Structure 1
Amino acid sequence: MAFENPSREEIKNILEQAGNIAVVGLSDKTDRTSYMVAGAMQSRGYRIIPVNPAAAGSTILGETCYASLAEVPEPIDIVNVFRRSEYCADVAKEAVEAGARVLWLQQGIISEEAAGIAGGRGLQVIMDRCIKVEEAITQPVRR
């Protein structure tokens, strides 16, 4: 059976219930898409948790950056991924182990393998969608 993203209503519910968003591949460079998207989500009231081994220990968007999801010391609602598709299966495994509720692969990122890993362990999976765009469409007013 082919993968299908949740409905717009389900995505609305996911975003309404989310607080902490771990952003895997979040760059500390302000001109990168990951930085701009995470900054926009932060400005809308979500807690952004940077995950990037190259920037671990530094701060991005005022938050401590971690090398992996396993190092994040608090609950994760959404794992938002800015990594190439071939790395997403490993991220999905980490998301499962970290107890995340949702694996969200950004626009342009598709991994059936990652969807199978995460979905098979009870996580909701969204692929090839921009979290910032979906949030703007489904959550016109936030906190």
Structure 2
Amino acid sequence: MHTSADDIRKLLAEKTWAFVGLTDTPYRTVYQMAAFVQRNGVKVVPVNPRAEAVLGEDGHTSVPDGVDVVAVYRRSEFVAPHVDEAIAAGASGVWTPLDVVDEDAAQRALDAGLTVVMDRCPKIEWPAYGPS
């Protein structure tokens, strides 16, 4: 998966991100990344099995309609169903963190017209590509 600077820039400019795997556990990477993008003006939508509210936002058990980016913070082997949810929800993109890659799911997302950024960290990419 070769993610372009334009793809990163496009997704970082989106205003609503669903974070799959987000719970109210501050030491987990997903919490830290969700808090980071929230501090930078992004609405965060927590997605977790208990629909737990996190960072002041109501939680959901699956990716809801109306999100721009679906950030999947689960192991690579669990990415595919959430990419399918992103496609069904009409999201414009999918993001996975460092070391999380599923080429088949990425291709399905690309075929459905979504922008895909895999194996990247929003906090690392923000200084170069985030909105100013």
Q: TM-score range by the shorter chain?
A: over 0.9
Measure, in 1, the Cα distance between the counterparts of 2:108 and 2:102: 10
Taking every aligned residue pair, what percent have the same amino acid on both sides?
Answer: 39
Q: Rg: which structure is higher?
A: 1
* Partner residue, 2:20: 24
* Partner residue, 1:14: 11
Counting only pairs closer than 5 Å after superposition, residues 96-107 of structure 1 correspond to structure 2 as 96-107=87-98
Measure, in 1, the Cα distance between the counterparts of 2:105 and 2:12: 21
Q: Does 1:128 align with 2:119?
A: yes
TM-score for the superposition, normalised by structure 2: 0.93
Measure, in 1, the Cα distance between the counterparts of 2:22 and 2:67: 15
Q: Does 1:36 align with 2:37?
A: no
Instruction: Report how many aligned residue pairs link the two structures.
Output: 132
Measure, in 2, the Cα distance between the counterparts of 1:68 and 1:140: 28
Unaligned runs of 5+ in 1: none
Give the alignment's Cα RMSD to 1 decimal: 1.4
Counting only pairs closer than 5 Å after superposition, residues 47-86 of structure 1 correspond to structure 2 as 47-53=43-49, 55-56=50-51, 58-69=52-63, 72=64, 74-86=65-77
Measure, in 2, the Cα distance between the counterparts of 1:51 and 1:34: 11
Q: Does 1:4 align with 2:2?
A: yes
TM-score for the superposition, normalised by structure 1: 0.86
SS at match of 2:70: strand
